[in-house]
């Protein structure tokens, strides 16, 4: 049975396409060929499938999931959160930097310089990532 990766699949339309690993072109994947209980395929999922030639080209039959890509939620769950004490320290530092470097410039009617803005943005993104997990 050939293998390939899902290029795209539209659950509302009930079909999608797979690019074959052997380079023999794309294969149409109808909803009817999906395994029981599977309603859609995610782009990038690795599948194994049988192929039949139809009037419109190759069509996948009897699809088996080999390796589905991780969802965003699953990928985030694998990330390790910082220790609460460490995050607390980061937030305190962020507040100090915002008060001294950013707020002072804004009061004078100007934005902070690019280097300062980048450092502040990196710190804020790091704190936001830990809070979002």
Residues of the domain holding 40: 3-67
Mean pLDDT (the chain) is 85
Single pTM value for the model: 0.51
CA of 132: how far to CAs of 17, 47, 77, 86, in Å?
A: 34, 32, 10, 16
Whether residues 101 and 55 fall in one domain: no
Give residue 133's pLDDT band: very low, low, confident or very high (50, 70, 90).
Answer: low
Please compute the mean of the pLDDT values over residues 11-18 and round it to a whole number: 93
pLDDT tens digits for range 63-118: 988 876 556 665 555 566 777 888 888 888 888 888 888 898 899 999 988 888 88
Domain boundary among 67, 86, 114: 67
């Amino acid at each position: 049975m050939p293998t390939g990766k899902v290029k795209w699949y539209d659950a509302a339309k009930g079909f999608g396409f797979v690019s074959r690993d052997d380079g023999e072109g794309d294969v149409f994947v109808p909803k009817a060929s999906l395994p029981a209980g599977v309603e859609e395929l995610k782009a990038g999922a690795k599948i194994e499938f049988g192929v039949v030639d139809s009037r419109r080209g190759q069509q996948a039959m009897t699809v088996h999931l080999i390796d589905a890509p991780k969802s965003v939620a699953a990928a985030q769950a694998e990330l390790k959160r910082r220790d609460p004490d460490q995050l607390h320290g980061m937030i305190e530092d962020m507040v100090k930097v915002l008060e001294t470097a950013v707020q002072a410039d804004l009061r004078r009617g100007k934005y902070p310089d690019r280097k300062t803005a980048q450092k502040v943005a990196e710190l804020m993104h790091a704190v936001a990532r830990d809070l979002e997990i």
